[in-house]
Structure 1
Amino acid sequence: MSAASLIARGRAAAESLMTDACTIRRRTGEATDPNSGVITPTYGDPLYSGKCRVQQRTNAGQGQDVGEAFVLVTRFEVQLPMSATGLVEGDQITITASALDPDLVDRVFTVRDVAAKSHLTARRVGVTEVLS
């Protein structure tokens, strides 16, 4: 059996575990509400919409002081089909559906790193979630 056929089988197996769905967007700028002065990020068309799998990397988050607020930053991994390409640090992943954990829906993660190697069975994306 060739390496290519083994990788294809591994990718099919990995995708069979992707029971969640997500949308990935890239920030294009920001907009300021003229009445309130609130600045909100703007995003382009989705880079990817489809199946995924969410895995928590550690059980403990890391507390950080941001300005006068204390926030908890947790690390996760989002696994995607290998067809999801071109992701970069800062892209935003929103979980849109989850067959097995309804608490994942609407959670928003920020891409921190994207794994790359010759024999990947899934696109593994290191992400963070900021909780206040």
Structure 2
Amino acid sequence: MSVVDLVLRGRTAAESLMLDTCTVHRPGELVTDGDGNVTPSLTLLYTGPCKIQQTLAQSSNPEAGGHQYTVQDTRWDTPVAAGVFAVDDVVTVTEAILDPQLTGRVFRVTEPFHKTGATAQRTRVEEVVA
């Protein structure tokens, strides 16, 4: 069996674990609605299967501007062919069958993923808390 065949089999296996569904938008130019609210325009990049996973069991607690934050290392997996994602793209989990607490959570891409022979895109994200 060739390396290409092995990678393709690995992709099938990785995608079988992507039980959640998400949408990804790229923020664009600012727009003002009829009420005077200013928000970025959003371009839809992807809708499809994904997986959210914390990669470390512990968090860090950096301090900035007199406020202490909790930061958890989180990874967002999508099929390799899902698209090209960039820093600040917005990921919304639209359905999470095995963990309903994930549904509706919003994440921001912090580090794009690139790898020869990847079986999935394993992108670093951080949760956006309003």
- TM-score by length of structure 2 reads 0.85
Over 3 Å counting, the alpha-carbon distance change for 1:99 and 1:9 in structure 2 is same
What's the offset of the Cα at 1:31?
A: 3.0
Q: Which amino acid aligns with 2:26?
A: R
Q: 1:102 aligns with which of 100, 103, 110?
A: 100
5+ residue gaps, structure 1? none
Aligned length: 129
Q: CA RMSD in A?
A: 2.3
5+ residue gaps, structure 2? none
Q: In the alignment, what sits opposite 2:45? A: 47
Q: 1:86 aligns with which of 75, 84, 97?
A: 84
Over 3 Å counting, the alpha-carbon distance change for 1:95 and 1:61 in structure 2 is farther
Q: In the alignment, what sits opposite 2:127? A: 129
The 5 A counterparts of 1:1-80 are 1-32=1-32, 35=35, 38-44=37-43, 46-58=44-56, 59-65=58-64, 71-80=69-78
Q: Which amino acid aligns with 1:9?
A: R
Q: Deviations 1:36-71 (Å, cap 9, x if unpaired)? A: x64323212x111000010012332545546x8765
- Secondary structure at 1:131 match in 2: coil
The reply on whether 1:120 has 2:118 as its aligned counterpart is: yes
Over 3 Å counting, the alpha-carbon distance change for 1:31 and 1:72 in structure 2 is farther
Q: Which amino acid aligns with 2:41?
A: T
Q: Is the 8 A contact 1:72 1:131 kept in 2?
A: no
Q: Which amino acid aligns with 1:86?
A: V
Q: Deviations 1:1-30 (Å, cap 9, x if unpaired)? A: 100110011000000000000000000122
- TM-score by length of structure 1 reads 0.84
CA distance in 2, matches of 1:99, 1:61: 28
Over 3 Å counting, the alpha-carbon distance change for 1:62 and 1:70 in structure 2 is closer
CA distance in 2, matches of 1:7, 1:117: 12
Q: Is the 8 A contact 1:27 1:41 kept in 2?
A: yes
CA distance in 1, matches of 2:53, 2:22: 13
Hey, which of these two has a bigger chunk of strand by percent? Answer: 1
Over 3 Å counting, the alpha-carbon distance change for 1:71 and 1:65 in structure 2 is same
